[in-house]
């Protein structure tokens, strides 16, 4: 795979490759489609050390989140309150979509013009297949860079594990309340 290639994803969407080093999002895109279409998942979450841009924006303490569903994001917020982890919603304004539009495919895998954390999330959003979806870019928080807070030790943090556990609880509680 080299810049300029056009590939077809598992969903059937075509992707123009601008940066061959941004291959992780291609795998995540296929994983989201698989979970939605083959496994019948009603809610989707991906977590990855996807972009250095999120680290530059939020550092070691806060995980960037993109969401396509406010209620699902609110569930994440409640889960994060239980876990003590910090998350910040990154914008997905329509104006940013233009940065990953392609003349040759359905979408580009990266932007030519910056906004790396945002465009990575917007790329993945296209593969959520209409399901409520959360994208957690843990590139800054997966390793604390020696800056220790709460229960951590220097190094790998296990970020989002506790929050995802609590997210499952919050979703279960919400389902119980609606029955």
* Cβ neighbours, 10 Å, residue 59: 13
What mean pLDDT do residues 157-170 have?
Answer: 96
Q: Whose structure tokens read 């304004």?
A: 93
Note the CATH number of domain 6-178.
3.40.630.10
Query: Which is it for the CA torsion 142, 86, 128, 75, positive or negative?
Result: positive
Question: How does DSSP classify residue 143?
Answer: B
What is the domain partition of the chain in residue ranges?
Answer: 6-178
Task: Count the neighbouring beta carbons within 10 Å of the beta carbon of residue 50.
Answer: 24
Tokens read off for 120: 């990575």
pLDDT digits (tens, 9 = 90+) for 127-157: 999 999 999 999 999 998 877 766 667 888 8
Dump pLDDT digits (tens) for 48-63. 999 999 999 999 889 9
């Amino acid at each position: 795979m080299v810049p300029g290639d056009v590939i077809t994803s598992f969903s059937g969407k075509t992707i123009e490759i601008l940066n061959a080093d941004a291959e992780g999002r291609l795998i995540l895109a296929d994983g989201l489609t698989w979970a939605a279409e083959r496994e019948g998942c009603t809610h989707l979450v991906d977590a990855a050390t996807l972009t250095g841009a999120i680290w530059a924006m939020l550092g070691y303490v806060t995980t960037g989140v993109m969401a396509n569903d406010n209620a699902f994001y609110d569930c994440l917020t409640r889960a994060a309150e239980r876990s003590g982890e910090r998350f910040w919603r990154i914008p997905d304004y329509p104006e940013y979509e233009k940065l990953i539009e392609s003349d040759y495919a359905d979408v580009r895998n990266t932007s030519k013009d910056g906004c790396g954390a945002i465009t990575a999330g917007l790329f993945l959003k296209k593969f959520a297949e209409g399901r409520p979806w959360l994208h957690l870019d843990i590139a800054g928080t997966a390793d604390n860079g020696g800056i220790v807070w709460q229960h951590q030790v220097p190094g790998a943090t296990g970020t989002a594990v506790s929050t995802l556990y609590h997210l499952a609880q919050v979703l279960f509680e919400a389902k119980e309340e609606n029955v």
